[in-house]
Structure 1
Amino acid sequence: MKKFTKALSLAAISGALILTGACSKQEASKGAEKVDVASLPKAGDFSKELELNLSGSVTRGKVEDGNYVQKRLEEQFNIKIINTKTDTWNADQVNLMVASGDLPDTFSFTTGGKTAQELYDSGLTRTIPKEMLEKYAPRYMKMLSENPPGPIMNLKKGTDNEYLQLIGQYGHVDGLTWSPTFRLDWLEKLGIEPPGEIKQVGPSGGREKIYYTDGAYTIDELEEILKAFTFNDPDGNGKDDTYGISPWNSNTNWAASLTGAFGIALSANYNLMEDDKLVTTEISQKYKAFLKQMAKWYEMGLIDPEFTTLDDKKSWEKYKQGKVGYYIAQPAYIAMDDWAKGRAPQNIVENPESTAKLLATAPEIGKNGQQGVGAFIPVGNLADAFYVSKDVTDEELARILQVFDYINFDNEARWTLYGEIGEHSDWEGEPNKSAIKVRPEFAEQEGNSGFWAYNFRTYDQERTQWFTSEYTMKVKEDFYAREDVKEKMVIRPYKWDLLNETNIKEVEKRYKGQLDTIVAEFRMKAIVGEIDIDKEWDSYVENWMNNGGKELLAELEKAPKASDLMK
C-alpha cells in the first residue's frame, strides 16, 4: 500500500507554524501538573461515556460519520468519536488548524518541523506519564522495551517519566531497503555469469521473469558489465542506444548501494570517523572517491547523459523503454507489489508480452570489501510521532491510551484496518502469508469503512504481512532482512542525536538549505566533468564548513555513538 512504503519514507506534514491562536489558548512552557494515576479508573473501566476527537496517521479528512470502525470502537470503549475532517497531510489545512488552536485530541502530523519539545513548549501538546502508559498501554510499553533505546526516547527535558509523544515500530523497513538490479536477459546474451545462485521471485504475473541472489559483483566487475551494457548491443537492435546506468536528479536513492561500496550512506547527517576525525558523508574522502568513480563512468559514456534533466518518475519511464541495464530497487519492486506498479525496474516486465528478465543482487562490493546500504532509520527501528493535545484531561488520556494500545498493538484489532476477512476483505493469496485486500464496496481508507481513520503508523512483523505480498515477504526472509545480511550490510552513522541532546535541529533549520545546495551543485558538476574533483575538493569542503558545516559537526560531536544507543 502506497502510504506505508512511499520508498519507505516517513509520512508527515511540514509547514510554517502559526502560534497566534495556540499560544493565546495555552501558556507556553507551562509545567505539567503531577498526575494522580491511582485516582483514575482501572484499566478496562469504561462506565463513563467520554467524547474524543480522534485522528491518526492516515487522516485525510474523508472519514464518514457513523462509519463501521467508529461504531465498533464507540461500543467497545463507551466513547463518542468526533471525526477529524481536516486533511492532515495538507500543510495549509494543518496551519489553519494550528492557528486556531482547534487541534484534535490525538494527532500524528507535525507542524513547521518543530521538535516534540517545541510543540509542548508552544502549548500545543501535553505530556504522557510513564505510569499511565504502564497502566493503560501495556502492549505499547512492551514494544518499547523490546526496541532499544525506546524507553528513553522522547522524554520531556529534565524528566525520566514524562513522554512528549508516542512512537511506532517500523518493522516494514527492517534490513536492506535497496539493492542493485540487472537486465538478466542482457547478462545471458553477453555471456556474463550471475554472482551466485539465483532464485525466481514467483510463478506468474511477471514475477517469473524476476530473479534474485545474495551474491554480489565487485565494483570492478560492475564497471565491465556497464561497459558491455553500453557498447555491446545487449538488446540486439544493431544500434548504439543503450546505457549501463541511468540515475536521476531529484534525490540520491539511485546511488544507495553504489555509495555502500565506498563504505558510506548519503542520507542527511550520516557521519563517520575518518583519520580520527568526525566527518559527514558529503565531506569524506570516501565520498570523494565515489564521485571520482561516477565521473569516470560518465566520461566513459556508461551513464545516461540525460539524467541531469530526469527526476525519479521520468527515470522510471525511460527505463521502461528498455535502454538501461542497471537500476536500483526495493524488495517490493522486485516482488511486484501493487503499490509499486509503474516503477522501475519492475515496469519492464509488467507487460505480459515483455521478454525482459531481471536479476536483483546483493550490494556491490568495493575495493576494500565494503558493501551495504544506509539504514532507513539511522538508529534502531522506531519512528514517527503520536501526540496528545494540551486540552486532553487525565481521564480522557486514560481512555485514549487504551484505545491506542488496542487498535495499534493488539493484532486482534485487525478489523480497524481491514474489517472482517471474508466480509470486508480477503487474503490476496495464502491466508496469513499474503496481503489483505479490501473489497471494492468498502473504502480502503476512511470513508464508509473507517479503516485506518484512527490508527497510528506502527507495524510489527505480523502487521507488516497484512499489507505486504507473500513474494515480498519471501525475498526479505531469504535475503533482504536476513539477520546476517542486516549485521553485515546495513550502514549506520557513527554518531546520532536520537535523544535530542544537542542543538542539531536548530542548526539544521539555519543552515540546511545552503548546505544542501552546496553539496548538490558540487555533486552534479563533479559527475558530469564540469570541475576537476581533486583540484576543487578542498575549496568545496571549506565552502561547506563556512556555511554551517562547522556548526553541524560541532553538534554531531556532542551526540552519542549509534552503537551505544542500540545496546
Structure 2
Amino acid sequence: MQKRFNVILSAVLSGSLAMSLAGCSGGASESGAKGSEASGLPAPGDFSKKLELKLSGSFTRGKIEDGNWVQKKLEEKYNIKIANIKVDTWNKDQVQLMVASGDMPDTFSFTAGTLSAQEYYDNGLTRTIPKDMLKKYAPRYSKMLDDNPPGWEMNLAPGKKEEYLTLSGYQGHAKSLIWAPTLRLDWLEKLGIKPPGDIKPIGTSGGLERIYFTDKAYTVEETENILKAFTFNDPDGNGKNDTYGMLPFNNAFTSWGSTLLGAYGAASGYNLEEKGELTAAEISDKYKRFLKMMAKWNKEGLIDPEWTTIDVNKSWEKYKLGKIGYYPAQPAYVGLDDWTKGRAPANILEKDPGAKLLVTAPEIGPNGQQGEGAFTPVNQLGDAFYISKKVTDEQLVRILQIFDYINFDDESRWTLYGDVGTHSTWQGTPEKSALKVKPEYPENEGSMGFYAYNFRTYDEKRASYLTSEATMKLKRDFFGREDVLKKLEIKPYKYDLLNQTKAADLNKKYSGQLNTIINEFRLKAIAGQIDIDKEWDKYVQNYLNNGGKEILAELEKAPKVADLLNKK
C-alpha cells in the first residue's frame, strides 16, 4: 500500500509542548500567502545573492561530512552555503527530539516521520508552497504533476487556494507488478510438468541463465496439483518424503499471498465493491474463499508446517535448504539485483548448481480472475518533502530550483553516483543497467555526500540506475507493461487521496487493533485451528465493531479510484 503521510502523533509533542508549538501556528499560513503574492523575487537562474540553507532529504542518516563533494558542487552552482544535518532521520527517537525542539531543517523528509503533513503545519513547523512559485521555479516537478492527475489536487493546504503542505515524489521504481509466482523449474522438469507457456532465460550468465520467465500463468487448480507433486512425488530425488509445495511466513502477508488472493479478485489492505456495497478486502467473500483454499492446502500437507513460527527472513534461510518448490518473488529478486542477495528464491542458485527457476504471471482464479494489489492505490505519487516555517520566500525560490534540479533533472545523477567512471561504474551495458558506487567511496553521505540532499522520487530513468538489466527486461517484457498493469493491478474501489474525509484519522485510531484481528484470524484459519465457515460471521462482526464499520462509513464519502484516475 502506498505510504501514508499521517502517522501517530508523537508522545514527545503531547500535552503542553504540543500546545506551545500550536501557539506558533497562527502565522504559519502567512509565509505561504506572501509567497503567492510576492513580487520582486529573483528570476529563475538568478543566484547573485548568496544564501545560507540548512538542507536535509529522504536519505539523511547523520553520517554527512561538512565540505563533502556534492555539497561543494551545489554551493558553487547555486551560490549557497549549506549547513548539514547530523541527525539520523530514519531513527524515530532522534526525529522526535528534533521535532520537539522545533529546530527543523529548512527542508526535510523524515523516514521515521512523527507527524502528518497537517500536524507539522498546525504545530507551526512547516510553511506552504504556492503553486505559482512551483510553476515558475520548479518546472520539471510541475510537469510531473501535470502528467499524474490529480497531482495538483493533492497536498493542498485546507482553506487555502493553490498552496501546498508538501511536495510529492514520483514512485517510478514501483510502476510494475511487484510479486510473481516462482517455481523450481528443475523440479517441474523431473516431474514431467509443462510450463504454462513458452519460456526463455532472463539472461546468459551469472545465474540468470538458470532463471526462466513466461508471461503465461497456471490456474489455481493447476498450481494445487503442482504443489501436490512437489510435496509427495520426491522432486529432489533423494528418496525421502521431505519436500513441501510452498512456504508462507507469519508476517508480510502482502508478499506471499498477493497473487493467490488476487486470483480471487481482492488485494490485502484495500477495499472493494461486493454485491453493490463497499467492503474491506479482509472481510469479503473473496477473501473467505482464499482462506478456505489455503486451509485446504495446509490440511493436505502442501505447506511447510513451520510457516506459523517463522518470519520472512527466516523463510529465506529455510528456502535455501532446497525443500520448497513455490515461492513468490519480486522481479528484482530473480533479476539478481545487488540489494536482493541472499533472498529467496534466487538464493537456491548459490547452493544448488542444478537448480532452475520459473517465473510466471499471477495465477488465474476459479472465475478467471488474475492480478495482485497495486503498490500505489491511485497514481504513482507518494512520500512528502517539507519546507520549514522559517524559510523565507527568497530562500524558497532557491530551494525549489535546487529541488527541481537534483530530483527531476537526469543531469544531476552526480548527486547520487558522482562522476560515472570515476566514482561509480555500470553493472552491465552503459545507460541500460544499474550504477554502483565504487567500494572506495561511501555510497551514502560521508565525504562524498551522495544522496545527502535528495528526495525519494524516481522517474523511470532514475529508477533504472537502481535496477539490473535483467530486472529491467522483466519489467519491459511483462511486469511493467502498461497493458499488463491496466489488466492485473488491483486498486481499491474508493480512496481518500485528496484528504476529503476523516478516513486517515480513523485508520490511525483503529489500524492496530484491526490488524491484530485480521492476522490472528488468518493464521488460525489457514493452520486449521478454527472452522472458517462457523467463525466467519463472528470474525466479520468483530472487525466491524473495532473500527471497521466507522472506517467503511467514512470511505463511502471518498471518491472512486476510477474517477480520480480520470481527473485532468
TM-score computed with the length of structure 1 as normaliser: 0.96
Q: Which blocks of at least 5 consecutive residues in structure 1 are unaligned?
A: 1-6
- Distance change (3 Å), C-alpha of 1:444 and 1:391: same
Aligned pairs for 1:130-529 (under 5 A) are: 130-252=131-253, 253-266=255-268, 268=269, 270-351=270-351, 354-529=353-528
User: Match for residue 543 of structure 2?
Assistant: 544
Distance (whole Å) between structure 1 residues aligned to residue 425 and residue 3 of structure 2: 27
Aligned pairs for 1:54-69 (under 5 A) are: 54-69=55-70
SS in 1 for 2:462: helix
The answer to whether residue 557 in structure 2 is matched with residue 558 in structure 1 is yes
Q: Deviations over 1:168-227 (max 9, x none)?
A: 111111120111000000000000000011111111111111011101000000000000
Q: Which sits farther off after the overlay, 309-318 or 155-164?
A: 155-164
Question: How far apart are 1:58 and its partner, in Å?
Answer: 0.4
User: Match for residue 27 of structure 1?
Assistant: 24
User: Match for residue 99 of structure 2?
Assistant: 98
- Distance change (3 Å), C-alpha of 1:508 and 1:12: closer
- Distance change (3 Å), C-alpha of 1:475 and 1:560: same
Q: Which blocks of at least 5 consecutive residues in structure 2 are unaligned?
A: none
State the AA in 1 paired with 2:387. Answer: V
Paired residues of 1:22 and 1:123 also in contact (CA < 8 A): no
Q: Sequence identity, in percent?
A: 64
- Distance change (3 Å), C-alpha of 1:327 and 1:306: same
The answer to whether residue 20 in structure 2 is matched with residue 18 in structure 1 is no
SS in 1 for 2:322: coil
Q: Which sits farther off after the overlay, 499-508 or 176-185?
A: 499-508
SS in 1 for 2:81: strand
Question: How far apart are 1:11 and its partner, in Å?
Answer: 11
- Distance change (3 Å), C-alpha of 1:476 and 1:11: farther
Distance (whole Å) between structure 2 residues aligned to residue 22 and residue 555 of structure 1: 27
- Distance change (3 Å), C-alpha of 1:293 and 1:169: same
Q: Deviations over 1:43-99 (max 9, x none)?
A: 111111111010011000001100000000000000000001000000000011011
SS in 1 for 2:181: strand
Paired residues of 2:475 and 2:481 also in contact (CA < 8 A): yes
Paired residues of 2:54 and 2:83 also in contact (CA < 8 A): yes
Paired residues of 2:428 and 2:469 also in contact (CA < 8 A): yes
Question: How far apart are 1:115 and its partner, in Å?
Answer: 2.4
SS in 2 for 1:292: helix
- Distance change (3 Å), C-alpha of 1:8 and 1:164: closer
Paired residues of 2:172 and 2:463 also in contact (CA < 8 A): yes
Distance (whole Å) between structure 1 residues aligned to residue 467 and residue 519 of structure 2: 34
State the AA in 2 paired with 1:312. Answer: V
- Distance change (3 Å), C-alpha of 1:23 and 1:142: farther
Paired residues of 1:169 and 1:458 also in contact (CA < 8 A): yes
SS in 1 for 2:124: coil
State the AA in 2 paired with 1:360. Answer: V
State the AA in 2 paired with 1:139. Answer: R
User: Match for residue 70 of structure 1?
Assistant: 71
Question: How far apart are 1:350 and its partner, in Å?
Answer: 2.6
- Distance change (3 Å), C-alpha of 1:319 and 1:8: farther
- Distance change (3 Å), C-alpha of 1:17 and 1:140: farther
SS in 1 for 2:52: strand
Q: Deviations over 1:510-549 (max 9, x none)?
A: 2111111111111111111111111111111111111111
Paired residues of 1:14 and 1:91 also in contact (CA < 8 A): no
- Distance change (3 Å), C-alpha of 1:350 and 1:23: farther
Paired residues of 2:3 and 2:382 also in contact (CA < 8 A): no
Distance (whole Å) between structure 2 residues aligned to residue 70 and residue 22 of structure 1: 34
Question: How far apart are 1:27 and its partner, in Å?
Answer: 1.4
State the AA in 2 paired with 1:256. Answer: S
State the AA in 1 paired with 2:328. Answer: I
Paired residues of 1:245 and 1:326 also in contact (CA < 8 A): yes
Distance (whole Å) between structure 1 residues aligned to residue 112 and residue 304 of structure 2: 39
* Alignment RMSD (CA, Å): 1.7
Paired residues of 2:8 and 2:508 also in contact (CA < 8 A): no
Paired residues of 2:9 and 2:115 also in contact (CA < 8 A): no
Distance (whole Å) between structure 1 residues aligned to residue 302 and residue 216 of structure 2: 23
Question: How far apart are 1:8 and its partner, in Å?
Answer: 9.8
Distance (whole Å) between structure 2 residues aligned to residue 160 and residue 272 of structure 1: 33
SS in 1 for 2:53: strand
Aligned pairs for 1:110-129 (under 5 A) are: 114-129=115-130
- Distance change (3 Å), C-alpha of 1:435 and 1:104: same
Distance (whole Å) between structure 1 residues aligned to residue 2 and residue 504 of structure 2: 22
